[in-house]
Structure 1
Amino acid sequence: MPYSPSHYDTLALPTTATSRDIRHAYRRQALALHPDRTGQATDASFRAVQEAYAVLSDPVLRREYDQGGKGEGVSASLTVSPSILSQLTSLALLLLVILTYQFAHLLPHLTLLLLAINARWQCRSPALPLTLLLLTCMRGWTFAVVWCACLWATPHAMVWCFWGVAYAALFNHYNAVSTLVALTWSVEHTRLGQSLINLSPLVLLLKLIKYVAF
């Protein structure tokens, strides 16, 4: 059986070498055996020096190596089998799907709140997203009373409030509609925002009344 030198022999060190000794020995051996420097050393010799330093410079791997192991990776006691890892991954994905389904109804509210905060940072009025956030939590007469109060308090956002409530009444889906309205409001100064305003039910209804009456 061919003799295989130990990592200590490769670096010409005793088994009691300190971390500083290991570092100095590696630098010395790397300079001496680097193929680009001498042109005589083989790649195998240089790789052996690198492997020896990688093991001996790591306290955990060195301790494992001194105890009779190879010190080439994580110890067997810490190794996770592929089957267990696959089961843990499947469980994590299942929990992610369940949590997403359970809390999906909160996403529109969170979006409206973030839009209100963003509006305040940009020195714009957060009236519309806050109004829609309040309205998404209400139904029936409470919804109507709060809606009228918001319209009276923020007349500059009246068109937007009518636009959102009209769509909410048509589709009976307050959360998604309110989010859509607030997102459109966030680009109200763009051509897209103006186009969406012109397509709102309130504007279309007013145009129809004007066309029929006049």
Structure 2
Amino acid sequence: MRKNLIRRSALGAAAGAASLVLAACGSGDDASAGHDGHGSQSSAASLAPSTSASTSASRGEHNAADVAFATGMIPHHRQAVEMADLAPSRAESTEVRKVASEIKKAQGPEIKTLSGWLTSWGEQVPAQGAMNHSMHKENNKHNKNGMDGMDGMDGMMTAADMDSLAKASGKAFDTAFLTMMIEHHEGAVKMAKTEKAGGAFPGARKMANSVITSQSAEMSRMTGLLGKG
């Protein structure tokens, strides 16, 4: 009798072990099916939209107006920085030197950003010396990006203007600098408004809005300084 009980206990343990093995195998099959079957497809499908959106964002959609804005604003900003560089050694007014410093601080980094956009779009960055207004007008006639008739270079100083400013000093420099820079800013604001009206690239539109806000404020400030003179 005792032997029969031992035998039954052994058989029961073996049957329990076998059921555990079968359960483990079944669980593995289910996991495998989920990994290679519909579960895997669902995961891939859920990732697809975000991947597509990321790719679209990285492309940075832009149009001819964005290219015109960047291509025109780079030499425009460069000339403003060149004008500002004259102030520390020539300006009499502390306020004029301060305005010049702030202009350089703001527009220098924007030149780099604009140049980066053009490069990423496969467009040519204006040459370093491309600052003469008449030269830009001539180039615009043949530009493939629909820039003919672009008023983008409004406010640019001529070579004679820049030479005259470089030779001035003291109060004469302050007056000439403020007068020229106000005109220069007016041109930049006009370019920025054109970009806001027709541009597509979010970054360029955001910069255009910043140019309008900051340079309009600077024009008011410089006009006030002229009134004090």
Is the TM value for this pair above 0.5? Answer: no
TM-score, normalising length: structure 1: 0.26
TM-score, normalising length: structure 2: 0.25
Higher helix fraction (1 or 2): 2
Structure ranking higher on relative contact order (CA contacts 8 Å, 6+ apart): 2
